[in-house]
Structure formats: structure tokens, C-alpha cells
Amino acid sequence: MPEGPSVRKFHHLVSPFVGQQVVKTGGSSKKLHPPDLQSLWLQDTQVRLVLHFGGGGFLAFYNCQMSWSSSPVVRPTSDILSEKFHRGQALEALGKSQPVCYTLLDQRYFSGLGNIIKNEVLYRARVHPLSLGSFLSPTHLEALVDHVVEFSTNWLQDKLQGKQQHTQIYQKEQCPAGHPVMKDEFGPPGGFQRLTWWCPQCQPQFPPEGPHQP
């Protein structure tokens, strides 16, 4: 799944086509029948279809899932890169009695937040991935949300300027302080398990004896 900054960069690139009419189609989408889109107008962009527009430009969608939608499906209040991102809603979700690494990947509250962002914000906030949100202080929870917005915004700006995003903990063997980094797969019971990197010294767990996974 692409992370929010990557999708938002795509949005910036395709937004000039919003309001234009499709004059020709192409591609090999199996989900949609490309000719059915001819003569329609592009109303919005949400991040193997080719749409050609009257001005001579075209859009090519690849390695993605296409479906019909009568209205936008992403709520701006959960979009980590939106000005309407709802901090209160995010803080309430993080405060639940479950590991914060599960909540951060919950797209209902943190749309666009992927595994790289998860690892980086947990390290920057000095929070262990398996810490229960209900045991974290308001300061820790606020710090997590602050780092989600800051890291994601900076990553987007770097992408738009063609710069590479440098990570501090993701796929590292040592943290910036020189401590050995641990790696394991974490995820909700019966759910998708994601690789997680953390520093046991920089990121203490709350409570100390939290849930462990095989």
C-alpha cells in the first residue's frame, strides 16, 4: 500500500486534469471497461487505465485498483495530510487499550499512514510499538500525533522537490543513538502482521509487561 505522501504527490500531478472531459481511453483494466469512461468528466482524483483529454494530455493508472464511485470515499478528517485532519479523533483512537502500532495503521483514523511512517513516528515520540495507548500519558499521545503530521508533511515536501526521505529507525540496525535495533512482526490477532523496527532503550514499553506476539 503506498503511503500518504506518495499518493498526495500523485494527486498534485493529476489535479490539472480535474474538470476536463475524457475524449479517448486506453489500457487493460479488468475491473472497469475503459470505453465506458469516454465523454465523462474528471470530477476528482483520489489516490491499467489511460485517459486522454482534449488538451492533448493524458493520465495513465497502473498497478492499482479501479472502481466506480459516486462521491469521494476518503474522509478529510482522517487524512494525515489534510488541513481538516481531526486531532481529537486521532488522539481518542490512540488512547484505546491496544498496542499503538495497531492503531496507527488503522486507516479510519490515520488515512495514508503506512508502515514506514508508523516506525518513524514511534521512534521519534520514544514510544514502544506494543505500548498500550491507555497507559500512555497525554504528552506521549500528543507527541505521536505531532510526529505523524510533521513527518508526513516533510516527506511530501521532499518528494515534490525530488529529495529522498531519510529514516532514523526503519530498516536500520542501529538507532541514531547507536543502540542495537530490534525487528519483529506485529499486528492485531487474525490481522495483517507488519514488520516493525524499534530501539528497546529509546522506546520503553508501557506497561512494561505488555502483549507479546509469536
pLDDT of residue 204: 94
Question: Which DSSP string do the residues of 108-137 spell out, in sequence order?
Answer: TTSBT--HHHHHHHHHHTT--TT-BGGGS-
CA dihedral (136, 137, 142, 144) in degrees, to 10, reads -30
Summarised one tens digit per residue, pLDDT across range 61-91 is 655 555 565 555 557 899 999 999 999 999 9
Top-tier CATH class for 87-198: mainly alpha
Q: What pLDDT, on the 0 to 100 scale, is given for residue 213?
A: 44
pLDDT given for residue 57 in this prediction:
79
Mean pLDDT by 10 residues, the chain (214 residues): 59 69 70 71 61 73 58 76 94 97 94 94 97 96 97 92 91 97 95 94 84 44
Provide the pLDDT for residue 53: 76
Residue spans per domain, the chain: 4-61, 87-198
pLDDT given at position 18: 72
Cα-based angle 202, 203, 209 (whole degrees, multiple of 5):
135
Which grid coordinates belong to 162? 525530488
Question: Model's pTM, two decimal places?
Answer: 0.69
Q: How many beta carbons lie within 10 A of that of residue 177, not counting itself?
A: 9
